[in-house]
């Protein structure tokens, strides 16, 4: 979650939001619909799928577009592959200030759902649920474990995080993050790690290049990690990538992905299970504007991208992906007809659409 310039008063934001819901050529199916269930606006989607297939979707509940002010983390759940959803619940709220940047991860060793997030982009917070999101622990401040004194602004995720499945770091929880260093406004991608099921955390490696920002992580064979990053440096309008062969402890030099164009916006990676080399990436595939939300398909774990599926041709922004039991892909994403922030919508993509060459 990054600061945006003020584009008008709150009334204008609300009007634009409602126009976004009604205009256009086809319906958007919203999970979190602006102006409903207590909030004028919803942003910053994240999703996790439980072992029994239950889906837990997170968002920031806001009263305006602005990335600061009174913001809560909210959730809904679905027990039928996203066809119907529970009423909205507040996961974390403070009397004032910004509870944001949801980054959930399911710990398969304990069955606990962990949610990493930030308070005012300064403190790093961990919440946990032992019952698939029905109840949550009190927020636990882990800032001293993961934020060096020289760091300033901080964000977790946003979007789902991972647990390493293979190799010597099997079981490690890896949360993609970014930060600034005091005295600089340039953002740097990094990860935070836990090897004891979230009991303790530590800062992992930072990428050796500035201008890398919100990022998403996935595992390739043997436990090698791929970090895919929003690119603030516009030498090329493409995503940046880096690799780690030590479980996120350090990262190779950044390179540009020649296929994955972006307008400076969050994107999300998802590795599919039970398939040979299939990895997905989703973002607004446009060089300058947040629109044309596109799903990219790789059959070699993100080295190349052989296919693309246009999910929403109009304005769109942040998204998250998850694999459902049976292989279908769930995408939750910000979209509207006149601007990208009409609410958080949902699409289910058939497994056959992404598994074929």
pLDDT of 26 reads: 53
Can you spell out the DSSP letters for 288-300? SSSEEEEEEEESS
Strands across the sheet containing 89-92: 41-49, 55-62, 72-78, 89-92
Backbone φ and ψ for 319, nearest 5 degrees, come out as -150, 170
C-alpha dihedral (59, 290, 157, 147), degrees to nearest 10: -120
pLDDT tens by residue, 82-122: 999 999 999 999 999 999 999 999 999 999 999 999 999 99
| Residue ranges of domains in the chain | 10-355
pLDDT of 173 reads: 98
Q: What is the chain's Cα-based Rg?
A: 18
The class level of CATH for 10-355 reads mainly beta
pLDDT of 24 reads: 33
Query: Residue 240: beta bridge partners?
Result: 229, 256
pLDDT of 152 reads: 97
Choose among 205, 145, 141: nearest CA to 178: 205
pLDDT of 20 reads: 35
Both tokens assigned to 285: 């595939």
Choose among 262, 300, 301: nearest CA to 282: 262
pLDDT of 2 reads: 53
Maximal C-alpha separation, the chain: 54
Task: Profile the chain (357 residues) by mean pLDDT over runs of 10 residues.
Answer: 46 40 59 97 98 97 96 98 97 97 98 98 98 97 98 98 96 98 96 98 96 96 95 94 98 94 98 87 98 97 95 97 94 96 96 81
Can you spell out the DSSP letters for 14-77? HHHHHHHHH-SSS---EEEETTSTT-SEEEEEEEEE-TTS-EEEEEEEESSS-SSSSBEEEEEE
Both tokens assigned to 51: 């072992």
C-alpha dihedral (341, 313, 352, 326), degrees to nearest 10: 10
Query: Residue 155: beta bridge partners?
Result: 178
Both tokens assigned to 70: 């009174």
């Amino acid at each position: 979650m990054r600061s945006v310039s003020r584009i008008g008063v709150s009334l204008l934001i609300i009007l634009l939001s409602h126009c976004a819901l009604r205009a256009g050529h086809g319906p958007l199916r919203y999970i979190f619909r602006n102006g409903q269930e207590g909030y004028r606006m919803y942003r910053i989607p994240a999703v996790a799928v439980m072992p029994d297939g239950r889906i837990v979707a997170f968002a920031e509940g806001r009263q305006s577009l602005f990335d600061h002010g009174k913001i809560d983390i909210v959730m809904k759940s679905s027990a039928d592959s996203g066809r119907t959803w529970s009423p909205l619940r507040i996961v974390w709220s403070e009397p004032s200030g910004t509870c944001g940047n949801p980054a959930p991860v399911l710990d398969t060793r304990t069955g606990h759902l962990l949610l990493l997030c930030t308070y005012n982009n300064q403190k790093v917070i961990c919440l946990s649920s032992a019952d698939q999101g029905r109840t949550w622990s009190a927020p636990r401040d882990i800032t001293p474990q993961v934020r060096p004194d020289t760091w300033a602004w901080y964000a977790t995720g946003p979007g789902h995080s991972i647990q390493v499945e293979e190799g010597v770091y099997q079981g490690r929880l890896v949360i993609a993050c970014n930060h600034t260093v005091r005295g600089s406004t340039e953002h740097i991608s990094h990860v935070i790690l836990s090897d004891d099921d979230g009991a303790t955390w530590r800062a992992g490696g930072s990428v050796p290049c500035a201008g890398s920002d919100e990022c998403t992580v996935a595992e390739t064979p043997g436990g090698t990690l791929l970090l895919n990053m929003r690119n603030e440096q516009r030498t090329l309008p493409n995503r940046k990538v880096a690799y780690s062969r030590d479980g996120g402890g350090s990262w190779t030099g950044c390179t540009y992905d020649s296929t994955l164009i972006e307008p400076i916006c969050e994107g999300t990676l998802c590795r599919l299970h039970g398939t040979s080399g299939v990895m997905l990436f989703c973002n607004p595939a446009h060089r300058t504007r947040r629109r044309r939300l596109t799903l990219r398909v790789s059959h070699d774990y993100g080295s190349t991208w052989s296919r693309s599926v246009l999910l929403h041709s109009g304005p769109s922004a942040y998204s998250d992906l998850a694999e459902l039991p049976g292989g279908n892909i769930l995408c939750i994403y910000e979209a509207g007809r006149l601007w990208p922030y009409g609410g958080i919508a949902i699409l289910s993509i058939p497994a056959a659409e992404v598994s074929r060459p």
